[in-house]
Amino acid sequence: MKNIKSNPAHEYEVLFPLVNLLLFDSSDSLDFESNYEKLSDNFIEAINTTNPTEIEDNFFTKRVYFYLKELSPKGREHLFNVIFNNDIFISTLTIGNLLENGLLPDEKNTLSIQNKILIDLLNYREEAKFSRSLVMYFILQFEFIFYYEFSDSKIISKIEYNNIIDRLGSFKEPTFK
């Protein structure tokens, strides 16, 4: 599971429609003619909930499932590669599963959990089957959007949008504004 980043913006391009779906209720690209766009009412409401990315039937998970369902086989392949090559995510999810299931972090348990994660990813790539591992990727990847400090609570500037896009694939602290 090697982390290869030749062109980060292009590598995560498969995630742009989900960013747009979350922020604007549409997966279409934006032109930012006025350098600002209105955030969707649904996103603004989700920001004000206690845990917008909790694994339950909510704004975030509905958007994630819609996005995953609509991805083409080529898009699923691209997404598989993005997730599979993210060592930090695979390690984080592995440790989380070990702790959640009360397992010792030995080689046998670690390999078992990593194999399950790989099977989940392959099942999505090949058959579009959803899994907890897949949803957890999106929670870890997109949670920061709900805590982003927009300059205005109802609009997003082109610069803020580009900061969010630049943050994709990174699990480090984002640079706000």
Q: Please state the rounded mean pLDDT for residues 76-105.
A: 93
Give the helix/strand (H/E) hosting 134. helix 132-142
Alpha-carbon gap, residue 82 to 15, rounded angstroms: 10
| pLDDT range class, residue 175, cuts 50, 70, 90 | very low
Average pLDDT for 40-53: 86
CA–CA distance, 168 with 19 (Å, rounded to integer) = 9
Highest mean pLDDT among 6-10, 114-118, 132-136, 142-146: 114-118
Please state, in angstroms and rounded to a whole number, the distance separating the CA atoms of residues 66 and 28: 14
> Dihedral of CA 107/111/113/114: which sign?
positive
Residue 127, CA distances (Å) to 12, 77, 109, 119, 133 in order: 21, 11, 26, 11, 15
In the block, residue with structure tokens 């907890």: 132
Given a cut of 90, whether residue 123 has pLDDT beyond it is: yes
Residue 55's pLDDT is 65
Single-letter amino acid code for the residue at 57: D
Nearest one of 70, 55, 52 to 131, comparing CA atoms? 55
20 neighbors 28 (Cβ within 8 angstroms):
yes
Q: What pLDDT, on a 0 to 100 scale, did the predictor assign at position 6?
A: 43
Average pLDDT rounded to a whole number, residues 56-81? 92
Backbone φ and ψ for 37, nearest 5 degrees, come out as: -135, 150
Contacts of 95 (CB under 8 A, 6+ apart): 105
